[in-house]
Amino acid sequence: MHKKLELPGIERIRARFLDMLEQRQRALAEHALAAWEGSTLQEINDNLAEARTILHQIAGTAGSLGFDDLGTIARNNELAIDAHLDGPNGKIASCPTEIIFGLDDFLKSSEALIAGQSAMESA
């Protein structure tokens, strides 16, 4: 359950965030898969960079809307991708398993959050 903000009218923005989260998680999954299956350095790194941009946006707003845990997971994944791309392994055409596992954790958390919200709304 998310922590409620005191700001009145925040529910509308929270609902929009969750709508966008569905689209973002789909895009994130596509980029993660493309990076994992990529064969060239550019293909892998470009897809990781796209995934990183999506995570960065989620991490920047989730906390303000009361989804602190999701924001933290997004930020940790963002930092992991940054560390990979900026490090020596960022020059090798290989996508680390840890990054894919991290993204998988994020996607599971995201799906659970959306499912939890839908259940609350229909209750």
Partner 1 sequence: MKILAVDDDPIILELLSHFIEGMTDHTLVTAECAADALEAIKDNARAPFDSFLLDIQMPVTDGIQLASQIRAMKQYMDAPILMLTAMSEKSYIDAAFSAGATDYVTKPFEMTELKARLSLVERAVEGLATRTSKVFAAKAVTHHDGRPERAVQLHEPMAIHDVNNLIEFMALENYVQQLSRSDLFGSICFAFNIRDVEIFHENMSNFEYCSMLSDVGEIISDTLEGCQFLMSYAGGGTFVCITESGWRPDPKLLANNINISLAKTELFDNRGQHINPRICAGKAVRLMWKTNSSVMDALSEAHASAEEATANYQKVQNDFWNVGRTA
Q: Does 16 bind partner 1 (CB under 8 A)?
A: yes
Q: In the complex, what is the shortest distance from the CB of residue 123 to partner 1, in angstroms, rounded to a whole number?
A: 25
Q: Which of residues 19-58 bind partner 1 (CB under 8 A)?
A: 20, 53, 56-57
Stretch that binds partner 1, among 40-48, 77-85, 95-103, 115-123 (CB under 8 A): 77-85
Q: What is the SS3 assignment for the chain?
A: CCCCCCCCCHHHHHHHHHHHHHHHHHHHHHHHHHHHHCCCHHHHHHHHHHHHHHHHHHHHHHHHHCCHHHHHHHHHHHHHHHHHHHCHHHHCCCCCHHHHHHHHHHHHHHHHHHHHHHHHHHC
State the residues that interact with partner 1 by CB under 8 A: 5, 7-10, 13, 16-17, 20, 53, 56-57, 59-65, 71, 75, 78-79, 82
